[in-house]
Amino acid sequence: MPHFITAIFLVLFLLFHPAAIAPVQAQINITEAESQQLDALVKKAFDATDAGEFVAAEGYWTDLIKLYPDNAAGWSNRGNSKMSQNRPQEALADYNKSVELAPNYPDPYLNRGAALESLGRWDEAIADYDRVLSINPQDAAAYNNRGNAKAGLGKWNEAIADYQTAMQVNSRFSTAFGNNAIALYQVGKTDEAIKAMKNILRKYPNYTDVRAALTAALWANKRAGEAESNWVSVENLDRRYRDLNWLKNIRRWPPSLIADLEKFLTLKS
């Protein structure tokens, strides 16, 4: 099953992993003992994040920042912890500090773009993703996330172009494939979208977002039996897809897909 955090079209909140901390660490000239202390805090923070303990992770990143206030990775990752607690405005302040400290590294811009998206500041998010791509033109996540921001502006065809570029850059980037299929449905390419969704589910059968989208698409196309069959898996995997408010405001599906899933949920054809 692909791993993702939902925001607009499954935006990725990328972490600075320990290897990415090294360049910043080198700039602040710390001792070997201090380096070991930093590494221990980083490990605790990532372990807490992997366990879904985001409050604890935030605390570890705060401890690291107190010790090494010029470590850009610490600020960016504390922002990630706050985003995971649905505190985007506070996360934005951390990302701004990370960008200030490491203006030539892509991750702070990518993370800040995701926070800006969650606040509906689409154009600013796009500017951050553009900056990522100016640093690394092969960053698939930046193309995917820029597509999300363009979708937020209702520029669906431009979003599709970005998703498909992300797919070309990284052929194993399942999130971009799912976003592309969902966006194709929004622009009326129904058969192409359904085919794409089915292909994704052959490889990732527990990809709940795509399976829920396929349910809506099949129901709207009078294929009730297939729709019902797919919905059984959705119900077992993630019951949030029954919540239309969540779909609209948190997951942020496109309007046509929400409308068709609502018809399915209310058993209207």
What global pTM score does this model have?
0.86
pLDDT recorded at residue 3: 29
Contact (CB, 8 A) for 254 and 186: yes
pLDDT in tens, 136-160: 999 999 999 999 999 999 999 999 9
How does 221-250 read in b/e, with b if 16+ C-beta sit within 10 Å?
Answer: eebeebbeebbebbeebeeebeeeeebeee
Dig out the tokens for 242 from the structure.
Answer: 């029954």
pLDDT in tens, 10-46: 333 334 333 333 333 334 567 888 888 888 999 999 9
End-to-end CA distance of the chain: 31
Contact (CB, 8 A) for 259 and 249: no
Contact (CB, 8 A) for 107 and 18: no
DSSP code, position 173: -
Dig out the tokens for 230 from the structure.
Answer: 């797919």
User: What dotted CATH number matches 1-175?
Assistant: 1.25.40.10
Query: How many other CB atoms are there within 10 angstroms of residue 165's CB atom?
Result: 20
pLDDT in tens, 183-215: 999 999 999 999 999 999 999 999 999 999 999
Give the count of alpha carbons within 13 A of 155, CB side only. Answer: 14
pLDDT recorded at residue 250: 86
pLDDT recorded at residue 14: 39
Contact (CB, 8 A) for 132 and 95: no
Mean residue pLDDT of the chain comes to: 89
Dig out the tokens for 30 from the structure.
Answer: 């710390």
Contact (CB, 8 A) for 80 and 33: no
Query: How many other CB atoms are there within 10 angstroms of residue 2's CB atom?
Result: 18
pLDDT recorded at residue 246: 94
- The average pLDDT across 82-86 equals 94
The length of the chain is 269
In the predicted structure, residue 220 carries a pLDDT above the cut 70: yes
Q: Which residue bears the tokens 């925001």?
A: 7
- The average pLDDT across 47-61 equals 96
In the predicted structure, residue 65 carries a pLDDT above the cut 60: yes
Dig out the tokens for 219 from the structure.
Answer: 């129901």
How do the domains of the chain map onto residue ranges? 1-175, 189-269
Angstrom CA distances, 19 to 49, 127, 137, 234, 247, stand at 17, 26, 21, 37, 36
